[in-house]
Amino acid sequence: MHNLTSNQNVLTWIDDIVKMTKPANVMWIDGSEEQLNILRQEACSTGEIKSLNQEKYPGCYYHRSRKDDVARMEDKTFICSRDKNNAGATNNWKSPEEAYSMGREIYNGCMEGRTMYIIPYSMGPVGSEFSKIGFEVTDSIYVVLSMNIMTRIGQKVLDVLGDSNDFVRGLHAKCSLDIDKRYIFHFPEDNTIWSCNSAYGGNVLLGKKCFALRIASYQGWKEGWMAEHMLILGIENPEGEVKYVAAAFPSACGKTNLAMLIPPELYRKKGYKVWTVGDDIAWLRIKEDGRLWAINPEAGFFGVAPGTNEKSNYNALMSTKKNAIFTNVVYNLDDDTVWWEKFDENPPENGLDWQGNPWNGKKSKEKGAHPNSRFTAPAKNCPCISSEFESPEGVPLSAIIFGGRRAKTAPLVYQSRNWQHGVFVGSTLASETTAAASGKVGVVRRDPMAMLPFCGYNMGDYFAHWLEMGEKMSNAPKIFHVNWFRTNDRGEFIWPGFGDNFRVLEWILKRCENEVDAVETPIGNLPYAEDINFEQMNITEETVDNLLKIDVNSWLEDEKGIEEFYAKIGNTVPQQLKEELNNLKKNLNMSVADIVA
């Protein structure tokens, strides 16, 4: 083993892991193409990955995970804080003693006969004051190759770390892939992550949700910054000025599509552009100018493949055309390419499905790709990647947007009255399960700031941290809520979404610049219909009214749901948010009285 660092904090920790896991060989990952190519060849020779058609997909590979190992497992994910209250009511908790003891037993000798790879990586541009360093120790070449796409890896990271002890210690081992012994343990107070018995990206690429959200949210709480489940995008106007927004959406609410949005033609002709800074995670810090600045700590996209096509998300699809890894999609045996549902209208007849079985897309009734099949692609491939993507400074935020999938409750867009009210809006964020087929409107799932599965500490303390951050800013971003998913009485969406969401972003930025007024309502400030540009849209006045209408009864119902959710979080919910809830109730009841009068 040739060490790439003399940092004793790192070497002592590595020695402990080597003693516990007992690998046959140890390899430090230096990040060189030469070393990565050797690993690619080795993984192809063992069948861990498969090379795709190098003319059509240069540098791309195919990977398959086991049938019971295809998604993040929230019931197997634990926050192991010393005090159970620090994990809070919304996280699974184990004591560090129990988790370390269980982990040591599972990891004991688990790498015998295997090579251990040590990956130094940076979340965020290497050397930026926003960035943080981690190590992932793994026995999977798939993990090495994926971390090379998703993060910045290798010697340059070690050079920045020097002798510091400020790094996150990540250990992943495939072990026997036993689902009954599959765990993802997070030790926020120790800057440590242990993941075992999984080979699926979401559980094993430890820089992603594990570090960039669960551990980093705790670090941010202690150090005075924020780690959020948010996309970051820049909107350039015809004069060439770019304004930035960050947005948080629960899953299945169009986050990646918004991050890589293509404006409608009438805007493109005028010179408007959208630039992607990030599609999933934002780290936010207050700088000397009193504004909130954001970086995307990741270097790649870990996107859901099914449904991604030239029409739904051209930019995401283009990102996958070189140096990408595809997991659990259809493999086309005729030309060594990939396919998934809604990729195009021409599924392969001679393919292998995501489990490796022969699959004929013209005849099979079964889906070929797993619904959670993925692409791992370098962000720099994206046609609309921002010129600020590698900026160590990050970008200043004009607005923060929350959004959920609500059939009747939330209007197309509204603005919070101030930062405190905005935190309330984020803390009550909800989405409805899509149960239209069974005739149910859908079950409301609360997902505050879209962070429910990813907050590394007590959710009530997390809300308090948001409120404290607001007090420290002299020039805070304005906070908004959007809903692209309003339906009519037949259950059909009344807003087209996709590129047309740009029209809402335009109104949001006008509000940030105080260029338009808004209507004060019980829930916040709504647009005047004439201030949203509906030009070249086939949309009736009645539909516009429906998009911007507030149904007081459904809000009164929602208010009860918020009360129940706050009760679940418990006594850590800040008093200011309880006051906001009372204000909402009071405002709604007053408007009911007005209607009756």
Does the annotation flag 282 for ligand binding? no
Does the annotation flag 591 for ligand binding? no
Pairing between strand 242-248 and 395-403? parallel
Name the phi and psi angles at 120, rounded to 5.
-80, 135
Does the annotation flag 132 for ligand binding? no
Does the annotation flag 201 for ligand binding? yes
Does the annotation flag 436 for ligand binding? no
Does the annotation flag 373 for ligand binding? yes
Does the annotation flag 252 for ligand binding? yes
141-150 and 33-46 helices, crossing angle to 10°: 140
Pairing between strand 168-173 and 192-196? parallel
Query: How buried is 438 (Cβ within 10 angstroms: 0-12 exposed, 13-18 middle, 19+ buried)?
Result: exposed
Q: Both tokens of residue 564?
A: 């129940």
Quote the CA–CA distance of 284 and 477 in Å, as a whole number: 11
- Give the distance, in angstroms, between the CA of residue 36 and the centroid of all CA atoms in the same chain: 27
Strand partners, 363: none
Catalogue the E-assigned strands of 124-259: 132-138, 152-153, 168-173, 183-187, 192-196, 226-228, 231-236, 242-248
Does the annotation flag 209 for ligand binding? yes
Q: Would residue 210 show up in a list of annotated catalytic residues for this protein?
A: no
Quote the CA–CA distance of 166 and 180 in Å, as a whole number: 33
Evaluated on CA atoms 569, 575, 577, 582, the torsion sign reads: positive
Does the annotation flag 191 for ligand binding? no
Quote the CA–CA distance of 66 and 63 in Å, as a whole number: 10
Helix (H) or strand (E) holding 395: strand 395-403
Q: What single-letter DSSP state applies at residue 385?
A: B
Does the annotation flag 256 for ligand binding? yes
Does the annotation flag 216 for ligand binding? no
What is the length of the chain?
Answer: 597
Does the annotation flag 500 for ligand binding? yes
Angle in degrees, CA 111, 112, 116, rounded to 5 = 40
419-427 and 575-596 helices, crossing angle to 10°: 90
Does the annotation flag 280 for ligand binding? yes
The tally of CA atoms less than 13 A away on the side-chain side of residue 3 is 11
Does the annotation flag 229 for ligand binding? yes
Q: Which of 80, 253, 384, 455 is catalytic?
A: 253
Question: What type of residue is 577?
Answer: L
Does the annotation flag 80 for ligand binding? no
Q: Both tokens of residue 559?
A: 């208010």
Does the annotation flag 442 for ligand binding? no
Non-local CB neighbours of 333 within 8 Å, separated by 6+ positions = 348, 350, 351, 352
Helix (H, G, I), strand (E, B) or coil at 537: coil
Does the annotation flag 498 for ligand binding? yes
Quote the CA–CA distance of 499 and 338 in Å, as a whole number: 27
Instruction: Answer yes or no: are the C-beta atoms of 147 and 122 closer than 8 Å.
Output: no
Name the phi and psi angles at 375, rounded to 5.
-120, 140
Does the annotation flag 323 for ligand binding? no
**Exposed e or buried b for every residue in 441-470, given b needs 16+ CB within 10 A?**
bbebbbbbbbbbbbbbbbbbbbbbbbbebb
Question: What type of residue is 395?
Answer: V
Name the phi and psi angles at 123, rounded to 5.
-90, 115
Does the annotation flag 197 for ligand binding? no
Give the residue numbers of the binding site.
Answer: 72, 200-202, 209, 229, 251-257, 280, 372-374, 405, 498-501
Point out the residues that are catalytic.
253
Give the residue numbers of the binding site for Mn(2+).
Answer: 209, 229, 280
Give the residue numbers of the binding site for substrate.
Answer: 72, 200-202, 251, 372-374
Give the residue numbers of the binding site for GTP.
Answer: 252-257, 374, 405, 498-501
